[in-house]
Chains A and B, each alone.
Chain A
Amino acid sequence: MGILGLSKLLADVAPHAIREGEIKHYFGRKVAIDASMCLYQFLIAVRNESGQLTSVDGETTSHLLGTFYRTIRLIENGIKPVYVFDGKPPELKSAELSKRQERRDEAQKALDKATELGDATEVDKFNRRLVKVTRHHADEAKQLLTLMGVPYIEAPCEAEAQCAAMVKGGLVYATATEDMDALTFGSNVLLRHLTFSEARKMPVQEIHLSKVLEGLELDQKAFVDLCILLGCDYTESIRGIGPKRAIELIKKHKSIEEILKNIDVKKYPPPENWNYEGARQLFEEPEVMDAAKIELKWTDPDEEGMVKFLCGDKQFNEERVRNGVKKLLKSRSTSTQGRLDGFFTVLSTTPAKRKAENKKETPNKKKKTGAGAGRGRAKPK
């Protein structure tokens, strides 16, 4: 689920850190994509009236359809994607994972009931809640990516952490995911909504960590603690301390240890055996592959291989697949547009005056609702 309420908090406190742009502005950029998040999105979103799209044997193909079309869309816009798959979940996540399993069981029960009653909308609703990205889905997606000539990486642990390490290592420009914890892991640039469908016309959100820290007036260490207070996947947070209080406390005391010393523990009891140190260590020193050892290579797509893989059993339209391959080849052959950033040096930046921020309050409120709605799309694991 990422970090609870962080995007909302940023929109309120550090609106300058969030910039909205169009997908076409990212031409020539290498972007690390959180694959599990993406596949989950596809399984949820790519559907027809009768549920998920399936192969002859009734196996779902939504994830492949999504991977195929959205990857082509990225490449057509000049983006060079690299997909990063999750490895084994960290031990600290087991509590969160079992919680998710419980919710899944509940949904299953509700689904059974709805099926019995024959309520189609309810069935569809709970079906979506039961969606899970399995090993099989991931393996098929990897196979497709190889055929498309797009590199992928298997993270030893959390994909977001691996993405962040690649951004820090200068291997890619940004991490593309909906999960805000990419920032907590230290990804300098986070792109949201990049893999959304074109039809939704969602602008791509670009969040810069340096500006987040500047806007919140925190350093990375304090920011990690703030994220733990807000609520992350790896440990619990203090009941009764919401985003507003959390940021106040962190600004004043700088770390969770100091906060615990200074707040009324009776009024705000911290969770029993609170392992915030473990969570903190996970954010600061996650298990990742060394970015310097990763080599990324984009190659020509294998047209016949793709036709063989996607058409036939998986019931893809051959003409469409071949068209897609043509698009991939065309994008590979055109030269990329350069940017001015490398040629000119930034002498000084004058951020808009404080006065402007007060005025902007109304649009921020709008953003709030937007961010709230977006949260529901985060991946469960």
Chain B
Amino acid sequence: MFEARLTASATFKKILDAIKDLLNEASFDCSESGIQLQAMDNSHVSLVSLMLRSDGFDKYRCDRNLTMGMNLANMAKIFKCANNEDTVTIKAQDDADIVTFMFEAKKQEKISDYEMKLMNLDQEHLGIPETDFSCVIRMPSGEFARICKDLAQFGESIMISCTKEGVKFSTGGDIGTANVKIAQTNNFEKEEESVTIEMQEPVSLTFACQYLNSFTKATPLASQVQLSMSDNVPLVVEYQIPDLGHLRFYLAPKIEEDEN
């Protein structure tokens, strides 16, 4: 028996909005410690890693480890039927082939439940090596989303260069070039607005706009975003979901063409 109850169904809506562009379907691994999801997009360029800790739920019960394969578009349809303030309960029997989502309105005058067929999906569990990143940047998530959206108009890829002074986002295309520089700022009164950079050595990597813009769909989940970079390893874009867990995106960098 699996049961997880969360007062804010809006959180789930936001998570689904953030990942449904990258993934058509995914397996949710449920265990005592929480719900986990790890999946690459079809072309194996990006990876979504979601962790929702069991203690972040209002009620959580998982007797046996359970993997639920779900079609994310259909799941999003179901969550569209819920109001943001509704409480959601996810239920499944052991070895079941359906999952139930129950939405309860604030005053409990309305209860709706939706059953969805589960899918059996091929699954690859990937080992993600621990990396000491050369640069870790924390900045307002809205600002990051804005930059990605703006620069995407001018080129297909964005170069992110991180130095002691700050971070530079740049791109170029047929029209010309675009550069956005952000300096480190410490705003102690409003921590969510500050930009911090932890740097061992300067890094400069290029990434596809298309994927960055998919990642920034997670902006509503957190006020800050953390970008971790090292030479020749994937970028990690991390959103902390308050009191519940995190949503991380990994993105393979673009590589300069060597002579075959």
A residues adjacent to B (C-beta < 8 A): 16, 21-22, 24-25, 27, 80, 296-298, 332, 334-341, 343-353, 355-356
Contact = CB atoms under 8 A, between A and B. Distances in A.
B111 interface: no
A374 to B, nearest CB: 23
Contacts of A332: 257
Given A298-B260, A334-B156, A344-B128, A349 B42 contact: no
A345 B126 contact: yes
A345 B47 CA distance: 13
Nearest to A359: B120
Q: Which of B120, B234, B250 has the most CB of A within 10 A?
A: B120
14 contacts: A21-B42, A27-B43, A297-B260, A335-B157, A335-B254, A338-B252, A338-B253, A339-B43, A339-B44, A340-B45, A340-B47, A344-B47, A347-B127, A352-B69
B125 A349 contact: yes
Nearest to A344: B126
A345 B252 contact: no
B37 to A, nearest CB: 14
Contact of B124 (A25, A337, A349): A349
B252 A339 contact: yes
B121 interface: yes
Interface in B120-156: 120-129, 156
B76 interface: no
B156 A353 contact: no
A346 B252 contact: no
Interface string B239-254: 0000000000010111
A340 B40 contact: yes
B255 A25 contact: no
B46 interface: yes
Given A335-B157, A336-B255, A356 B120 contact: yes
B254 A25 contact: no
A347 B2 CA distance: 26
Given A343-B252, A346-B125, A349-B125, A338 B45 contact: yes
A352 to B, nearest CB: 4
Interface string B26-46: 000000000000001011111
Q: Which 7 A-B pairs have the closest CB atoms?
A: A356-B120, A352-B120, A338-B252, A25-B43, A344-B126, A335-B254, A347-B125
Contacts of A16: 122
A25 B257 CA distance: 18
A348 B156 CA distance: 34
Contacts of B260: 80, 296-298
A337 B41 CA distance: 14
A332 B125 CA distance: 34
Contacts of A80: 260
Contact of B120 (A296, A339, A355): A355
Contacts of B40: 340
Nearest to B123: A350
Contacts of B69: 352
Given A346-B126, A352-B120, 10 more contacts: A25-B43, A335-B256, A337-B255, A338-B254, A340-B47, A340-B252, A343-B129, A346-B127, A349-B125, A356-B120
A336 B44 contact: no
A336 B120 contact: no
